[in-house]
Amino acid sequence: MISDFRVGFGYDSHRLTEGRPLKLGGVEIPHTHGLDGHSDADAVLHAIIDAILGAAALGDIGQHFPDTDERFRDASSDALLIEAVLFVRAKGYEPVNVDVTVIAEAPRLRPHVDAMRARIAEILGTNPGAVSVKGKTSEHMGAVGRGEGIEVHAVALVKRG
């Protein structure tokens, strides 16, 4: 029997670099560094894309939006998540909720969490009450703790629409 509900997990990390805007959860956040990557490197949206694709067993972000493809150079990750939601819907599922943990030594994310939740909810076609974004540090341990990059973990639930 196929369950009406399915869970998916997503992970992403990007290196922090000077001279790029920092975009997380569809929101531009003032900071000295931004995330390096082929697209706009929005690691929050990338982790959510992998979580919803995973819930529907539709592969991963690299398979649908390869970083060797010039179409996705500096692409808005908002547009990639919009497309991923369409893939999930085409398979008969609708996003229910997502829970995201962002691990960053800096900047402080708390002031930006509600803006991220609102934007993610808008893209997923749900409401901000179904979108959780939590910021943590890694207590100065490892590469993230040295401020070299940002890591994101996400889980998503989808239901048969």
Q: Which residues bind Mg ion (CB under 5 A)?
A: 12, 46
Task: Please report how close the Cβ of residue 46 comes to Mg ion at its closest, in angstroms.
Answer: 4
Task: Give the orientation angle of helix 113-124 with respect to helix 43-55, to 10 degrees.
Answer: 40
Q: Which helix (H) or strand (E) holds 116?
A: helix 113-124
Q: Where are the beta strands (DSSP E) in the chain?
A: 5-18, 22-24, 27-29, 33-35, 93-103, 131-136, 149-160
Residue 131 in tokens:
């979108």
Task: Please report how close the Cβ of residue 38 comes to Mg ion at its closest, in angstroms.
Answer: 8
Task: Please report how close the Cβ of residue 64 comes to Mg ion at its closest, in angstroms.
Answer: 12
Nearer to Mg ion, 46 or 117 (CB): 46
Task: Please report how close the Cβ of residue 151 comes to Mg ion at its closest, in angstroms.
Answer: 11
Nearer to Mg ion, 17 or 114 (CB): 17
Nearer to Mg ion, 35 or 85 (CB): 35
Nearer to Mg ion, 46 or 112 (CB): 46
Residue 44 to residues 5, 33, 66, Cα–Cα distance (Å): 23, 16, 17
